[in-house]
Amino acid sequence: MLNLASSTDPTWVEAALAHLDEILLDHAHCEKKAAGAAVNLLFRYPEHAFLQAPLAALAREELAHFEAVLARMEARGLVFARQRSSAYGGRLHALVRDGEPARLVDVLLVSALIEARSCERFKLLAEAAPDRDLAAFYAELLASEARHHEIYLDLARALQPEAEVRERLAVLARAEAEILRDPAPLVRLHSGGEAMDIQSDCERERVSIPVDGGTMGGYLVRPADSESRPAVIVYMEIFGINSHIREVTDRVAGEGFVALAPDYFHRTGPGVEYGYDDTGMAEGMKLLGQLKSDEMIADARAAIAFLRGRSDVTGKVGAMGFCIGGHMTYLTACETDVAASASYYGGGIAGPQGPGGGPSTVSRTGKITGRILCHFGGQDTMIPQDQVDAIRKALEEAAVRNEVVVYPDADHGFNCSQRASYHKASADDAWQRTFALFREELGD
């Protein structure tokens, strides 16, 4: 069983057959990268003796496959060369959690899914390739790809209980399926991720941001070129800068901006990273209850100052955020000079008090100088419609340039593909509106 959450769309087979030379070159690169990934794990985790022999054997087999693909290429008059890769692998690895053993488990499960998808697509090529020698070659690879899938799963099971591995694998499999639903600008063995394709050319780093005599951590991503660009702050949910928020930050950079996700839990839970389960919700809510408006404003101002102090930022800054991050986005719009803001299902904005007490955030609306976009779900019981109406009324009375969008079929968290409430149609529309706003107000 390959544990995939979707089957390949038939249109991929048609495109692959029309571009077999590109598929073969990409296949060669994939086999070489797979060998390198296995060897990298051997060096990164020498303390795990159980990894060594299986991964050494797997790496040797991947290199043998690499050589076999090179031979097929030579027979067709093709030469191995550099090739622009799809964003598939980068998007999958962006889902890997921080901290051990979660990080290693996720790397192993991502590798298992890549092997599974390769196996599925090799079978499709074996069945459809008009070159019968090439079809036979892909048929021969099926057993080894399926075996590699199981090897990675077995190694993950050695680190965590079976039930936990299965639960995490299901989450990653759904995300992998979602990645492949995006139309692809490149025909590759693992095609998918048109909007994300630029991510393979992005630079990522963990940064420290001075604030209130201490430091706030952050995850920063920027296109890998020498251009100065506008910046967008990405405010996290109560779950920390987890794999979803890192993926969103990557996507923002993929749209052509310097993207920064600041850790505004740095005072009470620096570096936390939770999943979307009952435990993650409970722990996140504890940290949410310790937030204070004045400290949140200080963090927002520190993040803006940090970005404006970078040579690769033009000085124009926008903000977006989700859940409490959506609230933080609205608060940032009120208390700083950001040019544009996009708040996704920001809870508590129209509550009687702001975080930690004091004036409500909606009462600060008259201080907004930029343009703001607010996204809400019509099925979201955490943000009653009367609070959405109060936000809309406050923005209109203050003559703030604004748009408030309510998606009738969407619930709280509709933008997150790792949550049961994910609603793709609403998420896609909200993303398009958000980046139309940023391009108009911040400039490309």
Residues 324 and 190: their CA atoms lie apart, in Å, by: 35
Q: Is 131 a catalytic residue?
A: no
* Radius of gyration, alpha carbons of the chain: 23
Residues 303 and 206: their CA atoms lie apart, in Å, by: 13
Domain total of the chain = 2
Residue where the block lists tokens 């591995």: 165
List the domain range (segments joined by +) for residue 89. Answer: 10-181
Residue 71 lies in a domain: yes
Catalytic member of 26, 250, 380, 411:
380
Q: Are residues 334 and 423 in the same domain?
A: yes
Residues 302 and 239: their CA atoms lie apart, in Å, by: 21
Which CATH number is 357's domain given?
3.40.50.1820
pLDDT of residue 153: 97
The chain-wide mean pLDDT, for the chain, equals 92
Q: Are residues 173 and 273 in the same domain?
A: no
Check: CB of residue 331 under 8 Å from CB of residue 341: no
Q: Are residues 128 and 29 in the same domain?
A: yes
pLDDT of residue 185: 67
Check: CB of residue 193 under 8 Å from CB of residue 177: no
Residues 364 and 398: their CA atoms lie apart, in Å, by: 10
Q: Is 412 a catalytic residue?
A: yes
Check: CB of residue 166 under 8 Å from CB of residue 154: no
Catalytic member of 30, 119, 202, 323:
323
Q: Is 119 a catalytic residue?
A: no
Task: Report the run of H or E that residue 229 belongs to, with start and end.
Answer: strand 229-235
Q: Are residues 174 and 274 in the same domain?
A: no
Of the residues 137, 153, 181, the one at which a domain ends = 181
Q: Are residues 392 and 255 in the same domain?
A: yes
Check: CB of residue 72 under 8 Å from CB of residue 52: no
* Burial degree of 314 (CB within 10 A; 0-12, 13-18, 19+): middle
Q: Which residues of the chain fall below pLDDT 70?
A: 1, 183-185, 192-201, 444
Of the residues 181, 213, 234, the one at which a domain ends = 181
Of the residues 181, 213, 240, the one at which a domain ends = 181
Q: Are residues 173 and 205 in the same domain?
A: no
Q: Are residues 224 and 304 in the same domain?
A: yes
Residue 84 lies in a domain: yes
pLDDT of residue 201: 63
Catalytic member of 148, 266, 412, 423:
412
Q: Are residues 293 and 252 in the same domain?
A: yes
pLDDT of residue 198: 36
Burial 123-142 (b: 16+ CB within 10 A, else e): bbbbeebeeeebeebbeebe
Q: Are residues 283 and 336 in the same domain?
A: yes
**Strands 258-262 vs 214-223: parallel, antiparallel or unpaired:** antiparallel
Which CATH number is 171's domain given?
1.20.1260.10
